[in-house]
Chain A
């Protein structure tokens, strides 16, 4: 009797251990995403969230899982979230916002087995001896430049309006690129720029668009989530719109000519591969036109009889001074 009992117990234990081993073999890659705005902001955060969804679709839910924290505009809260996720053993913690850099530099050294990523930036804190932080940097000025060239070719009045939040970061780079693109085609064109002072003042963005159009602009562009107000005005008054971050044509199919779609997958895929191979950080991932990180999503419906395909496929030399 006693011997039978021992056999049964040993069998149970070995089944248990075996199942553990099998379970360990099929481990999913786990990502945590921290964003400063919401997943449906139609701009910055949404584009990264969508990218993770795309990867999940490709890799399958058993192999790729992700969680997110949205509206983390308070840096202290984001820091707590980063630390939390890291201690829960996520493979990759993405702090999607330039305000998170300092927190990452603080926390990353405590979790050498976790990979961290942030952007837009080219800083991986190599000078601090940190080796597990990746950086990603969209070359917004390239997207802006192409938009500028297209806008210049389509405009009949040669007056352009730009609506941005504050003159920093991606918004600044995109705007500089846009201006350069316009100047390359029509050196005497007028580009008027307004800064709304926040990322969410839709009413002011809308009035800025109205004022631009009153001042003669027939093509508008801008960055950040409050531009939905401007897009509405463009639709109402028949101006053309060039978008950034995501494909904004859904809001005004007849007016949104082209959007710079930032495809974070181009940075995330190689990043995930590196992490799986054991390299936890130190690389900067650029997203530009050449590697497909920036895609120009041309909305055909708004081109009313004009073909721009050959311009897009053509040879646009992006000459923007850094």
Chain B
């Protein structure tokens, strides 16, 4: 029984990792008022860059750096299109998704050509903690990118609630006119959050290609980026709730795999539906809480408007 729980929990944590990076990144952007539906495209570009770098150099740190750089570049482009060019954010996001998916596949075809594996980040047991019963194996015998994803939660919470920057980010998303009149540089804040979001999406992709799966294939993420965006809403723009959402989704997914392995007589299509169904149901049940999205979300800023 204990082994089953450990197995499922470890699976859940691994599955949740890319969602955590990408969702927190999207949360930052959305809190400042920018919607980015292109997360999946950036994840794919990050995954490819990291994978190619590690394949050619064998250096994991360099691979991670590649993902960060590529993620930042995409973040810059997204910020330019959404903030400076004031484009329709929902559509531009889809454009970046299609572009990132296509570009990563072309680069893969041309620069690598066939399926390879790499030796990615190995499990890094944390001394003493990893020897704890049950919890030790579940939480403290993962690889470094998994640890990074989970430390991101308290870090982002701290940033958003306890620092002036965090306050500014939320002000920009809630009432940009007021923030602007108080001297906050709307454009700079939004560029910052969107680029940070791009970097985090890039790392999310790298977590797949050079840590968890150690492979790259066309469309590796298979739509994960969209789930990550959905989880932002589940988490009501609060890092801790985003964590809950990612864990809920991933745990149900891990459980349904286990249900299939055990041969329990439910058609696999229905068990596969479970993570999605549960997410909607749980969110519906939580409807009592009054949640308000950032008032300026998806609205480009024009000084003197409204």
Query: A228 at interface (Cβ–Cβ under 8 A)?
Result: yes
Q: Mark B141-164, 1 if CB is under 8 A from A, else 0.
A: 000000000000000000000000
Contact between A202 and B114, CB atoms less than 8 A apart: no
Grouping DSSP codes into helix (H, G, I), strand (E, B) and loop, the B interface class, with mixed when no group exceeds half, is: helix
Is A99 an interface position by the 8 A CB rule?
no
Q: Please, which residues of chain B bring their CB within 8 A of the CB of A204?
A: 15, 253, 257
Asked whether A215 lies within 8 Å of B222 as measured between CB atoms, the reply is no
**Chain B interface bracket (under 10, 10 to 19, 20 to 34, 35 or more):** 35 or more
When chains A and B are docked, how far (Å) is the Cα of A50 from the Cα of B189? 52
Closest to A46 in B: B114
How near does chain B come to A237, taking the closest CB pair, in angstroms? 11
Interchain CB contact (< 8 A) of B14 among A207, A212, A228: A207
A106: interface (CB < 8 Å): no
Chain B positions within 8 Å of A194 at CB level: 257, 260-261, 268
Across-interface contacts of A211 in B (CB, < 8 A)? 7-8, 11, 254, 257-258, 261
Q: Which of B189-206 contact A (CB under 8 A)?
A: none
Look across to chain A and name the residue whose beta carbon is closest to the beta carbon of B219.
A200
Determine the distance from Cα of A161 to Cα of B222 in the docked complex, in whole angstroms: 23
Say whether B15 contacts A207, CB under 8 Å: yes
User: CA of A144 to CA of B65 in the docked complex: distance in angstroms?
Assistant: 43
**A195 CB–B CB distance under 8 Å:** yes
* Complexed CA–CA distance, A228 and B118 (Å): 12
Decide if B185 is an interface residue (CB 8 Å cutoff): no
Interface contacts (Cβ under 8 Å), in number, total 109
Contact B257 A232 (CB under 8 A): no
CA distance A214 to B4 in the complex (A): 8
Q: Are A167 and B268 in contact (CB under 8 A)?
A: yes
By beta carbon, the residue of chain B nearest A42 is B115
- State the CA gap A210–B257 with chains docked (Å): 10
Q: Which residues of B contact A203 (CB under 8 A)?
A: 15, 18, 208, 212-213, 222, 224
Interface size of A by CB at 8 A reads: 37
| Closest B residue by C-beta to A39 | B109
CB distance B269 to A208 under 8 Å? no
What chain B residues lie within 8 Å of A200 (beta carbons)?
217-220, 222
Closest B residue to A43 by beta carbon equals: B115
Is B263 a contact partner of A192 (Cβ separation < 8 A)?
Answer: yes
| Contact across chains for A197 and B217 when beta carbons are under 8 A apart | no
Q: Is there contact, CB below 8 Å, between B257 and A229?
A: no
Contact B219 A206 (CB under 8 A): no
Instruction: List residues of B whose CB falls within 8 A of some A CB.
Output: 3-4, 7-8, 10-11, 14-15, 18, 105, 108-109, 113-117, 208, 212-215, 217-220, 222, 224, 253-254, 257-258, 260-263, 268-269, 272
- 24 CB contacts below 8 A, A to B, read A40-B113, A167-B268, A192-B261, A192-B262, A195-B269, A197-B268, A198-B222, A200-B220, A200-B222, A201-B222, A202-B215, A208-B257, A208-B260, A211-B7, A211-B257, A212-B261, A214-B4, A215-B7, A215-B262, A225-B217, A228-B115, A231-B117, A232-B117, A251-B116
Give 14 A-B pairs besides A41-B217, A194-B257, A203-B18 with Cβ atoms closer than 8 angstroms.
A38-B109, A40-B115, A41-B218, A197-B269, A200-B220, A203-B222, A207-B254, A208-B257, A211-B8, A211-B254, A211-B258, A211-B261, A215-B262, A232-B214
